[in-house]
Amino acid sequence: MTLVTDVADMQALARRRVPKMFYDYADTGSWTQSTYRENEAALQRQKLRQRVARNIDNRSIKTTMIGQDVAMPVALAPVGLTGMQHADGEILAAQAAEEFGVPFTLSTMSICSIEDVAEHTKSPFWFQLYVMRDRGFSERLMQRADAAGCSALVLTLDLQVLGQRHRDLKNGLSAPPKPKPLVLADLALKPRWCWNMLRTGRRQFGNIHGHVSGVDDMSSLAEWTN
């Protein structure tokens, strides 16, 4: 595909380039996925109001968000495991947001750590926090975000209980992927992804690995969180 014109084109590219377990992680919901579908439908119902016979010589979509000048009223939302969609994905997304002039929000469940993103960007970014049962870890995480110059803390409030994601279970989701036959077969079809991942050392949860004993992949993470 040489010409990308809409989100559907980007989805098609992602399906070709990204291992199934990570594509499904980004494009799926929990349990029956009813909330996922309702959110998508609600966004599709939103329309921009058309105004005619107006002077549009000096039109601009620049504005401010919580006191920050932005090129348009949009922020990149926190997405877990972005660094498994593409090597160093959070760093690249933060750099793209910085270049365009909109906020980037780093997920607690990122592959690149807070410090990684801060080292490779100049503009302050936002940090999304899951408040874990381990309150000491949460406090240390906030201190790290503050030290990295994060300008906003984005709290997730609707995850009192982890939702079961059926596709993740069926795909055997882990970071990094475990060498199982079906996983290896899928990875063999994604040579560019494999090559990029081999070139980076960031393949685990950067904000958690090394900061919590025994947490390395999705299974141990779920056990610790619960």
Among 34, 13, 28, residue whose Cα is nearest residue 79:
28
Q: Report the C-alpha gap between 48 and 205 in whole angstroms.
A: 38
Q: Report the C-alpha gap between 139 and 134 in whole angstroms.
A: 9
**Which token pair is 17?**
């380039």
Beta strands 68-70; 63-65: pairing state: antiparallel
Q: Quick one: pLDDT at residue 126?
A: 98
User: What DSSP character marks residue 175?
Assistant: S
The phi and psi torsions of 193 (rounded to 5 degrees) equal -60, -45
Task: State whether residue 69 is helix, strand or coil.
Answer: strand
Among 161, 159, 40, residue whose Cα is nearest residue 108:
159
Cis peptide upstream of residue 179 (ω within 30 degrees of 0):
no
Domains of the chain: 7-30+62-225 (3.20.20.70)
In the chain, DSSP assigns E strands to: 63-65, 68-70, 105-106, 126-129, 152-155
- In this prediction the pTM is 0.93
Among 160, 106, 142, 149, residue whose Cα is nearest residue 124:
149
Q: Quick one: pLDDT at residue 1?
A: 67
Q: Quick one: pLDDT at residue 85?
A: 96
Q: Quick one: pLDDT at residue 95?
A: 98
Residue 65 burial (CB count, 10 A): 15
- Tens-digit pLDDT string for the chain (226 aa): 679 999 999 999 999 999 999 999 999 999 999 999 999 999 999 998 998 999 999 999 999 999 999 999 999 999 999 999 999 999 999 999 999 999 999 999 999 999 999 999 999 999 999 988 889 999 999 999 999 999 999 999 888 888 889 999 999 998 889 889 999 999 999 999 999 999 999 999 999 988 888 776 777 777 787 7
